[in-house]
Structure 1
Amino acid sequence: MLTNAYPYYPGEQFIEDEIAFWANNPAASVTLLPTVATGKPRSLPDGVSVDLGMASGTRVGRFWFIWVALFSTIFRRELIHLWRSRRVGAYTALRALLHTSKVLEQARCLEQYAKANGKIDVAYCYWNEAQSYAALLAKARGSVRKVVSRAHGFDLYEMRRKHEYMPLKRQFIHAYDRIFALSDEGRAYLEDTYGAPSENIKISSLGVPLTSTLSRPSPAGSLHVVSVSFCVPVKRLDRIIDALSLFSHQHAQIKTTWTHIGTGPLFDEVRELARVRLAHISNLSFEFLGDMPNQVVKTYYLNTPVDLFMNTSESEGMGVSIMEAMSAGVPALAPDVGGVSSLVSNECGALLSPSPSTQEIAAAIGRVALEDEGHALRMQARKVIEERFNSARTYRDFVAEVLALGANAEAGQTGGLPPKGRSDHADART
């Protein structure tokens, strides 16, 4: 399983729910291969190991692969694509070169891993990015049998990248054995933007566990709003600040509290913006709790009254943080971007327009917070997760499908599945 950093920090906290289903499946032999490994890792269930080969590169090695990339076919093809699409420039050419060097270096790491541990049945790439391209190269060189990849948001939507440029994706998009999109919208984007073969794409949503109890509402006259996100431009946290300012002025009788969970490059800037625009409003308070472990966030919903979860992102894959709140019975407010519409609706919160105004967001807060159907919204939020995004089903089915691909790969190589416990880990080793 190829990750950016997991089990190391930061990020990728949603793998914490999924990894248990891999560990509990007796047919799987799972090794995590992160590209970044600093600090103390998160605990892992029994049956899951970690190999740091992809995270142990040196500066000399990095420069060597940049040199190799300069003369590679991959880089040459990417320059041709940039020229034809009229996007060639110093920035895009440099990104293409660095991405190519990273892919070549990571492919070499995978080949070395396979040489030491046996051919990889399935390279499961959590991100549809450089690691997954490296896995495809390693497959072409005989070190990997099958390559599957998820596609979320940052690794899918070009508008979320500087210069709207996603290096190398069009070169590799046809080579996957399976791409798992989070929604129909994600599938359509893969097909329309990159020309991904429709037969290779399947919908497989992420999921969250059902909480043991539900979050309770605030007392009458109070409103507690929670947001959870990385503080980066695409999350548009300024929209939350402006909407809460307007709502609080319109509803002076309501004592509103906003809690934001999450850090990021814009953390200090967003906190200062909140201080400037909100601190003078007598019926509105706010707090920035910073980064919190995933399990602590889930517990927070159960121990603290929460009335509304807010997301105002310009782009979103599916929104697992939204799912976690809804699992605890918290209504959600979010714009209709990415796969959000399959999760959020006016029956369990408020589905906004793709680029909502301050007035639209403030009005939606009022509808959810002040109408008499608050209990029904909370029950419906929980029901959506129970029926469509319960990790006990979504991850179980996903693991089974990936393992089936691995079994088919091995059968194609040998004419049947190997005896369990073979020393080269030929049982669906991911």
Structure 2
Amino acid sequence: MNNSIVLFTDGFPYGTQEAFLGNEIRFLSEAFSSVRIVPLFMRKGVRGPLPSNVRVLPPVFVSRAKAMLAFARPSAWLTFAAAVSEGKLSSSRVRKSLKQSVIISALKSRMGCRWSDFEADLWYFYWGTNAVNVLPFLSSCPRSVARFHRFDLYEEDVEGGESQVFRERMLERLAAQCLVSADGMAYLNRMYGHLGLNPVLARLGVPDRGRGRGSEDGVLRLLTCSNVYAIKRVDLLASALSTVSGTRIEWVHFGDGPREYRDRVLKIASRFPSNVRLQFMGRRPNNEVMEFFRSNPIDLFLNVSVSEGLPVSIMEALSFGCPVMATDCGGVSELVGDLNGRLLPVQISPERLAREILDVGGRACGMREAARSSWDEEVNAEKNYREFFEFLKHRV
């Protein structure tokens, strides 16, 4: 039985990213007597308070200057040379492979200097990239598991993804590969089934924060929550809404991104017809987004990305009983269908997207119970995390 665990994160509990990891911490602390968190990067702000048996170790990279010093280590360049020798390194992946080499070198050095910080029954890597890539370069370590989501799994997903030149050797060092979707599990088996791995389906989950409500005044209220990157196609939704006449639509978006993508969305929105309005909220803490779900009528949650794992934002919408319209990519079809919203083809025109929004939006009220049931059956945090940590504690 495993009693102590080290959790490797990109930044949690620092910063605003990995907000959904906060849903796991309570269950993790209840399952294990000792929990240590190793963040790779220092970021502004810190979440808290954490349970009393959770200890946060200093981030591996506390500043950009420290990262540059790590970049100068000979060991980082030796690791990069090993990546080149793998023969899988295209020019587009050179920068990302250099980043991985620096992370591997710095984390291995930290372990060499302070091994006692890392001694535990089990290592749990929250991502299938970055910190977990150190495994092939260690002579020995505790039994280890890693979660795989989207950018750290699907190799064709170059934008936003990371180079995976050491993937086969890393996968072989894991006692279990934990996939957040059945689609991801099928992908791993298809690509790496010859390695004799131990993949398990371990969906994320969100807690019960109560039920939301729909509109009662004839306005169709839409909500989106994502980074504003090309892959998320927030501009596609903006283009679709620019074609709608007659129906009053209020669209609220949480999230932000590079200026070129944000400005593209805002430029389209500036030409909306008078019946359509966008409220661009930018990046907000997760608790503010959840409060918005609780306090405001929302008729339809949308996600029109071209690539996903199993979006936590969709889980959160379903938990409030909010119908969801989303593109059929990654594991989205495992949560979204005609009973609780609408599954869309990835290749969809703005005109068709607009028609689908009006069609489903007009019937959304009757889908709210099915949406809530989808959350309870598939991504209820209370169920999923207790089962997952029971697995880690007793069967890894």
TM-score normalised to structure 2 length: 0.90
| Residue 68 (structure 1) shift | 2.1
Taking structure 1 as reference, are residues 360 and 224 closer, same or farther at Cα in structure 2, changes over 3 Å only? Answer: same
| Residue 199 (structure 1) shift | 4.0
- Rounded to whole Å, the distance in 2 between the matches of 1:163 and 1:20 is 29
- Rounded to whole Å, the distance in 2 between the matches of 1:186 and 1:349 is 22
User: Where does 1:24-423 land on structure 2 (aligned, <5 Å)?
Assistant: 24-25=30-31, 27-43=32-48, 44-56=50-62, 58=66, 61-65=69-73, 67-72=74-79, 75-82=80-87, 88-89=90-91, 91-114=92-115, 116-117=116-117, 119-138=119-138, 141-142=139-140, 144-162=141-159, 165-194=163-192, 197=195, 199-212=197-210, 214-246=211-243, 248-249=244-245, 252=246, 254-266=247-259, 269-371=261-363, 374-405=364-395
- Rounded to whole Å, the distance in 1 between the matches of 2:264 and 2:72 is 43
| Residue 389 (structure 1) shift | 0.8
Taking structure 1 as reference, are residues 362 and 403 closer, same or farther at Cα in structure 2, changes over 3 Å only? Answer: same
- CA offsets per residue over residues 268-292 of structure 1, 9 Å max, x none? 6435533444544110011111112
State whether residues 239 and 268 of structure 2, in contact with CA within 8 Å, keep that contact through their aligned partners in structure 1.
no
Taking structure 1 as reference, are residues 132 and 218 closer, same or farther at Cα in structure 2, changes over 3 Å only? Answer: same
User: Secondary structure of the residue that 2:242 maps to in structure 1?
Assistant: helix
| Residue 370 (structure 1) shift | 1.3
State whether residues 331 and 348 of structure 1, in contact with CA within 8 Å, keep that contact through their aligned partners in structure 2.
yes
User: Secondary structure of the residue that 2:142 maps to in structure 1?
Assistant: strand
Query: Which residue type is aligned with residue 208 of structure 2?
Result: L
- Rounded to whole Å, the distance in 2 between the matches of 1:194 and 1:112 is 34
- Aligned residue for 1:23? 29
- The farther-off stretch of 200-209 and 348-357 is 348-357
- How many residues are aligned here? 386
- Rounded to whole Å, the distance in 2 between the matches of 1:231 and 1:41 is 24
| Residue 153 (structure 1) shift | 0.7
- Rounded to whole Å, the distance in 2 between the matches of 1:6 and 1:171 is 26
Taking structure 1 as reference, are residues 404 and 107 closer, same or farther at Cα in structure 2, changes over 3 Å only? Answer: farther
Q: Higher Cα Rg: structure 1 or 2? A: 1
Query: Which residue type is aligned with residue 35 of structure 1?
Result: L
| Residue 229 (structure 1) shift | 0.4
Unaligned runs of 5+ in 1: 407-430
- Rounded to whole Å, the distance in 2 between the matches of 1:321 and 1:112 is 39
State whether residues 174 and 197 of structure 1, in contact with CA within 8 Å, keep that contact through their aligned partners in structure 2.
yes
- Rounded to whole Å, the distance in 1 between the matches of 2:257 and 2:249 is 25
| Residue 194 (structure 1) shift | 4.6
| Residue 92 (structure 1) shift | 3.2
TM-score normalised to structure 1 length: 0.83
User: Secondary structure of the residue that 1:92 maps to in structure 2?
Assistant: helix
Query: Which residue type is aligned with residue 37 of structure 1?
Result: M
| Residue 59 (structure 1) shift | 5.1
- The farther-off stretch of 314-323 and 117-126 is 117-126
Query: Which residue type is aligned with residue 26 of structure 2?
Result: A
